[in-house]
Structures are given as C-alpha cells and as structure tokens.
Amino acid sequence: MAKKVTTKKAPAKKAPAKAAPKIAPKAAAKVRFKNSGHDIATRTIHVGGEPDPVTGAIMPPIYQTSTYVQSAPGVHKGYEYTRSHNPTRTRLEECLASLEQAKHCVVTASGLSAEMLLMHYLPAGSNIICGDDVYGGTYRLFTTIFQDMHNFKFIDTTNAKAVEKAVKEFKPAMIWLETPTNPLLKITDIVAVSEIAKKAKALVVVDNTFMSPYFQNPLVLGADFVLHSMTKYLNGHSDAVGGCIMMNDDEARKKLFTLHNSIGPCHSPFDSWLVLRGLKTLAVRMEAHAKNAMIIAEYLENHPKVERVVYPGLKSHPQYEIAEKQMLGFGGMITFFLKGDIKKSNKFLSTVKLFALAESLGGVESLIEHPAIMTHASVPKKVRESIGLTDNLIRLSVGIEHVQDLIEDLEEAFKAV
C-alpha cells in the first residue's frame, strides 16, 4: 500500500489580486502577465504565451526561418538572423526568466553549451571553485576542455566552512554549485555560499536542473546566475535538448548575449517551441514527480535489500534541514545503494520493465541508471569512489506514472537479486 504522502510546503500562494490596470487592449497582453504577481503555475502558461498578434493563434508560431527581410538596409523589426534572435526563442526566454524570477534569460542549444558560455564569460586564467559531485558532463567540460583556460578546485560545497577556507586560499572569480548534486543529491546552502562569495567578489552559479524553477529559485537566494539543462524537467518530455542561463544583471546579459551570438550555440525554433509547450505543464508535472518520489523513497528506505536511500525529502538526508529551508519541494530524483555488488546492480537494472534503463532524467517517464557505468563514466574510478559514487549506487528519475505500478516494477527487480 502506498503510504500517505507528506509533501511539504505548498508553493508560494499568489499575491491577492490587484485591481486590473486600465490599459489599451493591445498592450494588455504584455502588461497583464509581466510582473503581475501571478503564481508560477500561471506564469508557465501565460508569460511568453500571448496569442499571435497577426492571427490570434493561441499557440505561438514556430518561426522556422534563418533570416528576416529588411525594408531598407539596417531597418528591421528587431530580428536579423536566427543565430542572434528568433521570435519563438524570445518567447521562451521571457517565460523562463519569469519562472526564475529573473530579469533576463539566454537560451542555448544544450545545457553544456550554456556552461561553455559561462566559462568564456570569465577572463582566461580565472580561478573557479566547483562542487565535487557535479554532473559528469560538467566535470568533463571543466577538466578536459577548459582546464587550460581556467584553474579549477573541486570541493565539498555542502560544508560552508570548507567553502570559506577555499575562497580565502584560492580567491575564485566564480563558485559553481549544483544543488542537489547528481547523483549523490548533496545539498548546498545557497544563501550561505552566496554570502561568502559576495564578500570575496566571486560570482555564484547554480545549476538548478534537478529542482526546476518550480521548487527552487537560486537568484532569490543570492546567486548571480542560474543554469538549467532544459533537456530535463523544463521540457519534461524527453524530446528536445536545450539549455538556459537566467540572471538579473544587465551587463552580464549583454556579455552573455554577445558570447552566444559570436560562438553560436543557438536553440532551434522548433525545439524552443517544444520547450514552450512542455513548460505549460511544469507545475503539475513537478507536483506529480515529487509526490511519487516521496512514496518510492519511503518504500526503498524500508526495503531489506536496500543499504541506504538518498532523497532530500527523507529526514535521514544529511542536509534535510537545508532542503526544507531553500526548496519548495523535494523533486523527483532518488539515489539508493543496493545491498551487494556490481553483479546485483546489473541484475536489478536489467530486470525492471517500466523504469527504462537510460541516461538523462526529468521526463514524464521513469528512468533508471547506473552512474558509475553510464552518466559518470567520465569521472575517474578513484574520484568516483572518493566521493561515494560506488558500484552499488542506482539512480532513479521518478516519472509521473501511477506510483503503485512503479513500486511493483521495483519489487520484481528486488526479487530477482
């Protein structure tokens, strides 16, 4: 039987409705949804979702075009070339900025290309402190592509004292956080690290992919940049790749836009449209992911064949209190350690049927994976073991199927090992 779910704090209630400002109908669409105090569930649907002004189409057109006709040389409607700007992408950027309560958003071709832009944002030779348990691709990007350009120091950012000490010694220009981390779901206190960073004039970047803006807003907690792989929860349907960076600083936006335009990792209009469509259900999806994940985490925690479960919503999580404080929900990712070795892990992973054995996460369908062999194979074994990423560690991306079906699927796999 499914246990009663103890989902925590409801997402912030929308502010009491203000009297509608009297404005001309044409301008209404924009003003109505910008800074309107609407709940995030409303903003996912309406910001950037204004009807097409030409036809009234309720869904945004896919501007599948590379260029735009000018009426005289240099005279255009704000769009010249799709690498620089595209109206479908503009809508997506407006929506995403609003979801993270940010002023600006730059959408990119993938999460990793967004990370690349932030690496080029810093002058060559910069010092960067990075969490020691980040996404495998991030680790690879920093240690094999940018290691000649910048100096990286990987530390356990969950320990604010260690961060303070490292900041004093290393004098970083940037602190790179992922919270919760992938796959160990370690949680860093964003407020505490941002305060340390501010004093040392270091920029804070938070990779917020695991939480989505629905459960965590790092800019509000003091970060300078928020980054997402849109491939995961933002799009939510495992059918597009993309990335984005949100920020409040105008100069930073200008510089990132120039980098984006000059380097060129641009998101295709069709993929921007897909993410806009996926975003409309972000609120219901995240609620469902979190509800299912909480039930499954409790099921796993009580299972005799499980050594340990890591889920931010469990009281046993080492940083449960920070999670409670800075997150509005606990998300859909669970990590657990099977009792046994790599053979048993392999058996488990090849027995599940509903949970698809695949990399990636954040889609409506449940996925299961083995980080040591799959997503984190690019992290050397010695490094993996030093941070606790062992061979019996299994990661679940809990989807929004009926939770009882998911539990029965896991139970069958437990019987097989």
Contacts with ligand PLP by CB under 6 A lie at: 110-112, 135, 137-138, 178, 182, 207, 209-210, 229, 231-232, 241, 243
Residue 235 tokens, joined: 């799009």
| Residue 170 C-alpha from the chain's centroid | 27
Tokens representing 261 are: 């335009």
Which of the following is catalytic: 14, 83, 255, 305?
A: 83
Cα–Cα distance, 185 to 113 (Å, whole number): 23
Could you tell me the smallest distance in angstroms from the CB atom of residue 276 to ligand PLP?
Answer: 17
In the chain, % helix, strand, coil (3-state, to 5) comes to 40, 15, 50
Nearer to ligand PLP by C-beta: 243 or 269?
243
Shortest Cβ distance from residue 207 to ligand PLP (Å)? 5
Q: Could you tell me how many residues make up the chain?
A: 417
Rounded-to-integer distance, Cα 161 and Cα 211, Å: 25
Residues 6+ apart with CB under 8 A from 180: 186, 187, 210, 211, 312, 323, 331, 333
83 catalytically annotated: yes
CA 265, distance to chain mean position in Å, is 18
Q: 90 or 209: whose CB is closer to ligand PLP? A: 209
The letter for the amino acid at 309 is V
Identify which of residues 98 and 229 has a Cβ nearer to ligand PLP in the complex. Answer: 229
**Smallest distance, Å, CB 7 to ligand PLP?**
23
Rounded CA gap, 55 and 61, in Å?
A: 10
Q: Name the catalytic one among 43, 91, 232, 395.
A: 232
Parallel/antiparallel/unpaired status of strands 243-247 and 203-207: unpaired
Q: Per-residue b/e over 237-257, b at no fewer than 16 CB within 10 Å?
A: ebebbbbbbbbbeeebbeebe
For 39-140, strand residue ranges (E) read: 104-108, 127-131
Q: Which two tokens stand for residue 89?
A: 């992408």
First to last CA, the chain: 22
Min. distance of Cβ 9 from ligand PLP in angstroms? 23
Between residues 76 and 120, which has the closer beta carbon with respect to ligand PLP? 120
144 DSSP 8-state letter: I
As a whole number of angstroms, the distance between CA 255 and CA 249 comes to: 10
Task: Find the shortest distance in angstroms from Cβ 88 to ligand PLP.
Answer: 18
Structural contact between residues 153 and 128, judged by C-beta atoms closer than 8 angstroms: yes
Nearest to 350 by CA among 398, 308, 263, 412: 412
Nearer to ligand PLP (CB atom), residue 182 or residue 345: 182
User: Among this protein's residues, is 254 annotated catalytic?
Assistant: no
Catalytic residue from among 135, 214, 233, 311:
135
Residue in 133, 189, 207, 391 annotated catalytic:
207
Is the CB of 137 or the CB of 371 nearer to ligand PLP?
137
Closer residue to ligand PLP, CB minimum distance, 138 or 157: 138
Nearest residue relative to ligand PLP (C-beta): 111
At which residue do the structure tokens 């090992």 appear? 417
Catalytic: 224? no
Task: Say if residues 379 and 398 touch (Cβ distance below 8 Å).
Answer: no
CB of 143 to ligand PLP, least distance (A): 15
When the beta carbons of 36 and 375 are compared against ligand PLP, the nearer one is 375
Q: Least distance to ligand PLP from the beta carbon of 229, Å?
A: 3
Nearest CA-CA partner of 228 in 250, 247, 206: 206
Tally of CB atoms within 10 A around 307: 13
Q: Establish whether 148 is a catalytic residue.
A: no
Q: Write down the least CB distance from residue 210 to ligand PLP, Å.
A: 6
- Catalogue the active-site residues: 83, 135, 207, 232
